Amino acid sequence: MIVLPRKTASGVRSTAAVVLAQLESTLLQLPVAELEPSPQELQSSGRGRFLLEHAAPFSAFLTDSFGRQHNYLRISLTEKCNLRCQYCMPEEGVQLTPKSELLTAQEIITLARLFVKEGVEKIRLTGGEPLIRPDVVDIVGQLNKLEGLKTIAITTNGINLARLLPRLKEAGVNAVNISLDTLVPAKYEFIVRRKGFHKVMEGIHKATELGYHPVKVNCVVMRGFNEDELLGFVEFTKDLPLDVRFIEYMPFDGNKWNFKKMVSYKEMLDTIKQRWPELEKLPCEASSTAKSYKVPHFQGQISFITSMSEHFCGSCNRLRITADGNLKVCLFGSSEVSLRDHLRSGASQEELVEIIGAAVSRKKKQHAEPALMSFPLRQDALQYPPNSKQCGHTSSHWPTLRASLSKQMEKALLKNKLPGQLILPVSHPEQQCYIRTRILQTQMRGFCVFQKDTSSTFDTKCLEASPVGQVSADCQLKEASPGSEFCTRDSASCSEVPRASDNLTHTDEEGRATMVDVGGKPDSRRRAVAGAVVRLGEKAFGMVRQNQMKKGDVLAVAQIAGIQGAKLTSQLIPLCHNIPLSHVEVSLSLDEARCAVVIHCSCQTWGKTGVEMEALTAASLAALTVYDMCKAVTHDIVIEEVKLLSKTGGQRGDFSRA
């Protein structure tokens, strides 16, 4: 007779193991005929139904309501990081959780043991930067003793990897992911705001020497930063057993998300196939987050993490524990459960498993789409422009804004429960209609920034990027401010725009500084070119030409600084509008006759105001960067000829310096 133990909170995994052991022992004593009960007999028997339902080897507590079994746990060892990557963290860092509120090494092992007992087979240690935690090797060693754990992986920025990896390998680490977003040392320093490129490369080579095959290299691809290095990264896999994983730029609060920065998987793949048309697709596991490819005869391979364009929620098998002990069942989800608090309050293992199981059972079918990514442009919105009736309470042809809005956007947009409707913080339906129209138009141009002015009756302005098409709309609204009129995009003629003024436009009647209202101006293509010259002197000029400056490649860093400066102009010049630029180009050349660096900057946009200030700011920041990188050699540096060279577009006409 088989004695079935009472099911406890520790899960059906342990129950099933006991049942199977007893079943095996009993079956050995039974005649063969008794070993083959029919399905009907099993279903009719209470014991048989239990076996059919609970004999699965995986814990029900780690299986969600959609049948996804979570056998992969990511544990953050620390919030600290020794880099300040621009897409991840502000330069000044973030406010850290007090040490007393972080998980201790023993608490990490206790929770890990619990998850492994319930079926977790792979644990990845993350951060922050996990290798700056002093006891990381000891933690790995203790994890390696957990029976049933097959893989201990670590994700690192690589700065400390070459020094620690031999000990980590001995302790039990059998998979390594290294973050590296560029193969250009100067660009690396610009992106991460720290030195260390050569340490990362040393860590990659150390990993290959120690037999890690493949060594995974994570590269976040960002338009305007490193999308031009895709082919270089693929070439990186030619002679090394690497898996370079191109990751779509992901939005998080605080990283100044702009979906124009995202380079999609398909765009990356097309670029690579133009160079290597023979690129082969590799098979992958069902739960894999990566789409893998290989250039024939290359040692390594490449992969794409399509977290934004093609999510992999349906096969997600991952859970996360933060450094302060919160369980996250979804990286994009906001809900967390503090395992630390329950652990420190004396909760038993059974109670902890129940808490974990409840959290897993609440996991949604797929993650919420991030703010601004969730403005999908439906084809029917192009074919059937909204009319005035649709500007009321129904809008069947408006795209549904399925946004999980960031904290900043929640103040500007509120999603209605009814599909296809969007409630905006303005009082009149016609204003809501106008803004919805502008959102739709702006989707075709790129990125929309909302600005609220509580003193204005028309308080939301949308600043646009370059166009790839236009949408006409019958519902338009004249701006409420006196002395100006709104120009409808679909009309053959626009209302008169104020002529160029002989007075200063950035001061009011009382002489106080004021920002120019450009709401009544027509949209047009704007372009501006500015230049600057930096005289270095013979010694510094020679070192720049031979790339011998200790701070790095002067021309490369100055070029990136100029591009970044153009994009930040409105934050540096108080009365400048925030303009979404469609293109920025910064070039630097050497003038041997003058021992000078000649800077040339071009900016473009489609909008209501020009980009002269953006071009001038780019030239100025590039020049200042050259000065900064050369001042250790000499202070006899002269920045001169910072000037606008030309501009096109706008009501004041074109300009070209003779």
pLDDT digits (tens, 9 = 90+) for 312-356: 687 888 999 999 999 999 877 778 899 999 999 999 999 999 999
Q: Report residue 408 CA to chain centroid gap.
A: 17
Question: In sequence order, which residues have a C-beta less than 8 Å from that of residue 32 and are 6 or more positions away?
Answer: none
Say which residue the tokens 């935690």 belong to.
133
pLDDT tens for 466-503 read 333 333 333 333 333 333 333 433 333 333 434 444 56
Rounded to two decimals, the pTM is 0.52
3-state secondary structure of 331: coil
Between 29 and 176, where is the model more confident? 176
Question: In sequence order, which residues have a C-beta less than 8 Å from that of residue 470 and are 6 or more positions away?
Answer: 441, 444, 489
Q: Which of 533, 554, 534 minimizes the C-alpha distance to 544?
A: 554
What pLDDT score was predicted for residue 38?
Answer: 44
pLDDT tens for 218-241 read 999 988 888 899 999 999 999 999
CB atoms within 10 A of CB 433: 25
Between 605 and 652, where is the model more confident? 605
Torsion over CA: 27, 28, 30, 32 (sign): positive
Say which residue the tokens 């200063």 belong to.
504
What's the rounded mean pLDDT across residues 403-428? 37
Q: What is the share, in percent, of the chain residues with pLDDT greater than 70? A: 66
- For the chain, give the mean pLDDT: 74
Between 382 and 59, where is the model more confident? 59
CB atoms within 10 A of CB 315: 11
Q: Report residue 80 CA to chain centroid gap.
A: 19
pLDDT tens for 542-580 read 999 888 888 888 999 999 999 999 999 988 888 888 888
What pLDDT score was predicted for residue 118?
Answer: 92
What's the rounded mean pLDDT across residues 446-459? 37
Q: What band does 518 get if pLDDT is binned at 50, 70 and 90? A: confident
Q: Which of 229, 240, 310 minimizes the C-alpha distance to 275?
A: 229
What pLDDT score was predicted for residue 155?
Answer: 96
Give the strand pairing for 175-179 and 151-156.
parallel
Q: Cα dihedral angle (369, 370, 375, 376), rounded to 10 degrees?
A: -40
Residue 401 pLDDT greater than 50, yes or no = no
Question: In sequence order, which residues have a C-beta less than 8 Å from that of residue 630 and are 6 or more positions away?
Answer: 536, 540, 543, 544, 549, 554, 637
Mark 605-623 as b/e (b = at least 16 C-beta within 10 Å): bbbbbbbbbbbbbbbbbbb
Residue 368 pLDDT greater than 70, yes or no = no
Rg (CA), the chain: 30
What's the rounded mean pLDDT across residues 640-650? 92
What pLDDT score was predicted for residue 502?
Answer: 55
d(CA 637, CA 456): 48
Q: What band does 299 get if pLDDT is binned at 50, 70 and 90? A: very high
Q: Which of 618, 637, 628 minimizes the C-alpha distance to 532?
A: 618
What pLDDT score was predicted for residue 287?
Answer: 63
Residues with active-site annotation: 628
> 372: phi > 0 → left, psi -120 to 50 → alpha, else beta; which?
left
Residue 129 pLDDT greater than 90, yes or no = yes
CB atoms within 10 A of CB 55: 14
Residue 407 pLDDT greater than 50, yes or no = no
3-state helix, strand, coil in the chain (%, to 5): 35, 20, 50
What pLDDT score was predicted for residue 495?
Answer: 37
What's the rounded mean pLDDT across residues 414-441? 41
What's the rounded mean pLDDT across residues 370-379? 36
Q: Which of 125, 126, 128, 132 minimizes the C-alpha distance to 84?
A: 128
Q: What is the 3-state secondary structure (H, E, C) of 139-172?
A: HHHHHCCCCCCCEEEEEECCCCHHHHHHHHHHHC
What are the structural domains, with CATH classification, of the chain?
A: 56-361 (3.20.20.70), 524-656 (3.30.70.640)
What's the rounded mean pLDDT across residues 53-71? 77
What pLDDT score was predicted for residue 276?
Answer: 95
